[in-house]
Structure 1
């Protein structure tokens, strides 16, 4: 009898602390009763909300945003180009943690990013307008290969497929990128 009380008490604590989750209580003998399973609706911080939270914590210009599991990784450059911060935004709570801050950056290294007419936030919105879904990655790309600077945006559609876009940093024009070595169904983070 004490065993049933302890199991029931433990199940109650799990339900109170962790929210509505599946909990099982053991009954005497071989029979077991289980509580109905329910999935707690988690607050999922969107890319747009993660960008806003990061910029509130460390004002500047976003260089990149990438989601890995339950964390958004955001790199921000100060508007004078001298500072750089690596931030993490919790995808459930929106809490921002500074992982690395450097205030001695070469200002020439980020001059293209700072001069871009289209921000990371605008590039994310443009990509979702072209292909509905959830933004998963936004990365600045100013390669020296003769191409214009652009944003690489990864959008995950409701069908689970990944769509890669290139957003022109001057015009905001969205074009689909050719499929790279990235598997469109891959849920692991990119090393980018």
Structure 2
């Protein structure tokens, strides 16, 4: 019984002294670990997500948007097959979520014939408003008499959200406006 008491006392001393040392070592390593995790998360930009999606599923991007830890990417192939993909924002891995084989190329004729791709529209938008692309979407809704455009959302370096409309034939900015509500919507 006395032997167990000595062993227990020795274990308590080791834990008491080892605990603060381990905690200090962990605290010292935490900024490095946090920085590495943050760097990994920041590695997959909209442009990188677009490349990963097109490598996994060749075609033309119809839309791309960031939702928390994933990029949602819609890709249309030359035959009109519409695929919904997810690209992990930390690793860049691609998962096919859904595929619609019932569509025909005619349904996406204007998108497939566009001279300016989503990738080019993103470059144009960031050149006009430096920052990070958060989403890009094809818009051929001609309710307002306007030709098709790429709608690109850019989180600018000054913390604002800029909505940039890029012409699908010339890659020029047609219009842009800042969101009135620049609050963080949780989609970091």
1:10-89 aligned at under 5 Å gives the runs: 24=23, 35-36=27-28, 37-38=30-31, 39-41=34-36, 42-43=39-40, 44=42, 45-81=44-80, 83-89=81-87
Rg larger in structure: 2
Counterparts in 2 of 1:132 and 1:99: CA distance versus 1, 3 Å: same
Structure 2 portions without partners, runs of 5+: 1-11
2:115 counterpart residue number: 117
8 A Cα contact 2:131 2:154, kept in partner: yes
- Residue 162 of structure 1 corresponds to which residue in structure 2? 161
Deviation (angstroms), 1:183: 2.3
Higher helix share: 2
Deviations 1:94-151 (A, max 9, x none): 0001100122213322111011110000000010011110000000000031210000
C-alpha spacing 1:89/1:4, structure 2 compared with 1 (3 Å): farther
- Whether contact under 8 Å (1:160, 1:185) holds in the other structure is no
Match of 1:177 in 2: 176
Compared CA separation, residues 105 and 7, structure 1 to 2 (3 A):
farther
Distance in structure 2 (CA, Å) of the matches to 1:7 and 1:67: 41
Structure 1 runs, 4 residues or longer, greater than 6 Å off: none
Q: Deviations over 1:33-92 (max 9, x none)?
A: 9723403232220111100000000000000000011110000000122x1110000111
Aligned length: 167
Aligned partners of 1:84 and 1:101 also within 8 Å = yes
| Structure 1 residues without counterparts, runs of 5 or longer | 12-23, 26-32
Shift of 1:3: 4.5
| Mapped contact 2:78–2:105 kept (Cα < 8 A) | no
- The CA distance in 2 between the partners of 1:126 and 1:104, in whole Å, is 33
SS at match of 1:139: strand
State the Cα RMSD in Å: 2.4
Separation in structure 2 between the aligned mates of residue 5 and residue 106 of structure 1, nearest angstrom: 70
TM-score by length of 1: 0.78
Cα distance change on mapping 1:34 and 1:55 into 2, 3 Å: closer
